[in-house]
Structure 1
Amino acid sequence: MRQIILLLLLCFLSGCEKPISPPPIRPVRAMQLSSEELVRLYSFPGRTRAVDRVNLSFRVEGQLIDRPGSVGDEVLKGELLARLDPTDYEVAVENSLGNLEKAQADLRFAERDYKRAQNIYKEDPGAISVSLLDKKKEEKNRLQGEVRSLEAELQSRIDQLSYTYLRAPFDGMIVAAYAQNYEYVQAKQPIIRLLNTSQVEMVIDVPESLIGEIPFIEKVIVEFDALSDLQFPAKIKEIGTEASTTTRTYPVTLLIDQPEETEIYAGMAGSAVLLSGKPSELSEEGFLLPPSSLLADDTLQKTYVWIVDEESMAVTKREVEKGRITSQGVVIESGLQEGEWVVTAGVHFLHEGQEVRLQPVTLNASGEQVLVDEGSDA
């Protein structure tokens, strides 16, 4: 009887126990290693300037009578920017034209006179002396030279007249004006400063220890302090071949196209992020990871990361060898393979074998984590 009561009591107690629920699956941010992470990234400060920039001036002197362009105006190539009083130059053209016409008339007479003398000499050599014939020929040749000289002088006068018009050599924007209407200006005196802002340049200074990697740059991203939420692609235009004697850096000029959504002005301060391929003779092998993906053991002086198994979706701690630290992340020199998933955040809240759910991320040019699905910064 006592055994029956015990059996009933055990059955009753076992029926009251709640079923044990499985542990919740933890969502984690993780990135899949690919050859795109096999890069070296460098960030250099710089300042923009217009790709074409010029102080425009007249090639002749005179009184400024018209300056239709104002500071801030956008102008097209060939558009009139300023004009001098052309009166003196128009008079010079007319004077040269009159001298030329007179010389041309004298030349025509001399040519006919020389031709008549030749005909007479052929018919009757004794009727005209050889010296007189030579004299008429020399007169004709002299007048031919005088006509050529006056033609050149007339063209010069016409050119000087055209120089009283100052036109835009390219599409651009007027950013400064140095003379006002009715001022008497000298030749080569700056009148207007014009910038071509369809493209802008940024000059960065690259240390001599890194200049050898510039030919291996695969991508350039530029960010500006005034446009902090935007990134702009750029390309390398020029690489300086002479280092600064004080800083031992080389100037590298980048070219940036004007974006549609905003405008980049000359003089803006920013930074350029250069992504370089890994030439084995210049760069260490490794993958670039955010610092938040590393788990450090200060006692053993070791560094670990969590690897996610794609089949079981469980995490495993693995030791890795850490390389240099950059402003965009940490280079892992060994311990990882292409295609593996590495947890990039919340590594201190995981344990061996814990099942997780992936939230894929990637690194942008600044080293920030960006959710692949949402496209927002981590």
Structure 2
Amino acid sequence: MPPRAVRTLVVEKKPMILTAEGAGTIQARYVNNIGFLVSGRLLTRNVDVGAFVKNDDLLASLDPVDYKSRLTAAESQVTSAQAALDQAAGEESRFKELLKNGFTPQARYDQALKDLQTAQAGVVGAKANLKLAQDQLRYTDLHSPTEGVVTQTGANVGQVVQAGEMVIQLSSFSDRDGVFSVPVLYISAAKVGMAVKVWLQAKPTEIVQGVVREIAPNADPITGTYTVKVTLVDPPADMFIGAVVVGEVDTEGHEVVTVPATAILQTGDKPEVWVVSADNVVKKVPVTVDRYDTSTVTISSGIVQGDRIVVAGVNSLNDGQKVAIEPTDAP
């Protein structure tokens, strides 16, 4: 009786491609909490949440009455200090001439010189106070330090705000990240610099390339997930801050063999395949299956590179049976 003809393929191990997907949101990479450098009552707020602002746009202003009064007082101090300096300079000049001609003692001239130096210091101090008053009045107007979108407001008109208190939260629109919450089961596979494909949940055909920029070192105490930030490369305008996106990562896992599902023989607790020896004799070999798909099976161990296995008619063979090889293409 001639040997039974069987279809076979030669095992070729390849890295298993692991794909992971997750939903996230678009967030600004740089978020500025902007506040006044001085305290006061909020007189105007010119922007609301969602407004786009440009560099140096007026965002809000404080009631300037008190600061104008301080400026007036500082200007008066400078005028008074300058008058005192002029008088002291004249006194010093006169006593210097008298001392030179021997009509006044050295001590009197020294006192005039001291008065002159004190007056000079008074002018310097008064001008510094004037500059401070001018700056404080200027600080009652809050200008945008950069362009961006308003994502939060911290004060309303009529409210008294303190120096440094957040009045406007401004998020940069030019630099945006996709921010994802990754379960602890998968965070070990995430690496800084890893490539990520990102698309809008509502527009899956518009794909943007991204790179993992930051991985949180600690899990969120509430969700137990790790925050992963992905820098987006040239994101479109419709990937606005707050938009829901999907990220996909493909990574290489350990080496596996993908075979047709028909190659698996299930006669006991462990799946097996028929391995054809060099003299065309078949032998059952147990294998470890990683994944069952519709028409293929992924095997992680049990067979090695170069093994020839039977891929059809596996239920019609016996251990030690001689077969005739009819090769087939790998899946």
TM tier relative to shorter chain? 0.5 to 0.7
Match of 1:92 in 2: 70
CA-to-aligned-CA distance 1:225-261 (integer Å, 9 cap, x gap): 343443322223333344556777654322225633x
Q: Secondary structure at the match of 1:158?
A: helix
Match of 1:363 in 2: none
What is the TM-score normalised by the length of structure 1?
Answer: 0.58
CA-to-aligned-CA distance 1:147-170 (integer Å, 9 cap, x gap): 232222212211211122122222
Residues 217 and 179 of structure 1, relative CA distance in 2, 3 Å threshold: closer
Match of 2:320 in 1: none
Match of 1:274 in 2: 249
Match of 1:171 in 2: 147
Match of 2:266 in 1: 299
Q: Would you say 1:156 and 2:126 are equivalent positions?
A: no
| Pick aligned residue for 2:240 from 255, 265, 268 | 265
Q: Secondary structure at the match of 1:93?
A: helix
Residues 133 and 219 of structure 1, relative CA distance in 2, 3 Å threshold: same
1:141 Cα shift?
2.6
1:78 Cα shift?
0.8
In the TM superposition, what are the counterparts of 1:79-228 in structure 2 within 5 Å?
A: 79-121=57-99, 123-124=100-101, 126-177=102-153, 181=157, 183-188=158-163, 190-205=166-181, 214-215=190-191, 217-228=193-204
Q: Distance in 2 between matches of 1:220 and 1:192?
A: 32
Q: Secondary structure at the match of 2:206?
A: coil
Q: Secondary structure at the match of 1:142?
A: helix
In the TM superposition, what are the counterparts of 1:243-258 in structure 2 within 5 Å?
A: 250-257=226-233
Q: Distance in 1 between matches of 2:169 and 2:229?
A: 22
Residues 242 and 179 of structure 1, relative CA distance in 2, 3 Å threshold: closer
Q: Would you say 1:69 and 2:47 are equivalent positions?
A: yes
Q: Distance in 2 between matches of 1:245 and 1:184?
A: 35
Q: Distance in 1 between matches of 2:238 and 2:256?
A: 37
Residues 58 and 330 of structure 1, relative CA distance in 2, 3 Å threshold: farther
Report percent identity of matched pairs.
25
Q: Distance in 2 between matches of 1:108 and 1:324?
A: 95
Residues 69 and 249 of structure 1, relative CA distance in 2, 3 Å threshold: closer
CA-to-aligned-CA distance 1:6-52 (integer Å, 9 cap, x gap): xxxxxxxxxxxxxxxxxxxxxxxxxxx9x9x7765444543332223
Match of 2:29 in 1: 51
Match of 1:284 in 2: 254
Residues 134 and 272 of structure 1, relative CA distance in 2, 3 Å threshold: farther
Q: Secondary structure at the match of 1:69?
A: coil
CA-to-aligned-CA distance 1:31-82 (integer Å, 9 cap, x gap): xx9x9x7765444543332223344433334454444434433211111122
Q: In the alignment, is the contact (CA less than 8 A) between 2:195 and 2:212 conserved in 1?
A: no
Structure number with greater CO (CA < 8 Å, separation at least 6) is 2
Q: In the alignment, is the contact (CA less than 8 A) between 1:117 and 1:133 conserved in 2?
A: yes
Q: Distance in 2 between matches of 1:50 and 1:214?
A: 21
Q: Distance in 2 between matches of 1:63 and 1:247?
A: 40
Q: In the alignment, is the contact (CA less than 8 A) between 2:16 and 2:254 conserved in 1?
A: no
Residues 336 and 95 of structure 1, relative CA distance in 2, 3 Å threshold: farther
Q: Distance in 2 between matches of 1:127 and 1:77?
A: 66
Q: Distance in 1 between matches of 2:223 and 2:49?
A: 37
Q: Distance in 2 between matches of 1:167 and 1:330?
A: 63
Match of 1:313 in 2: none
Residues 204 and 175 of structure 1, relative CA distance in 2, 3 Å threshold: closer
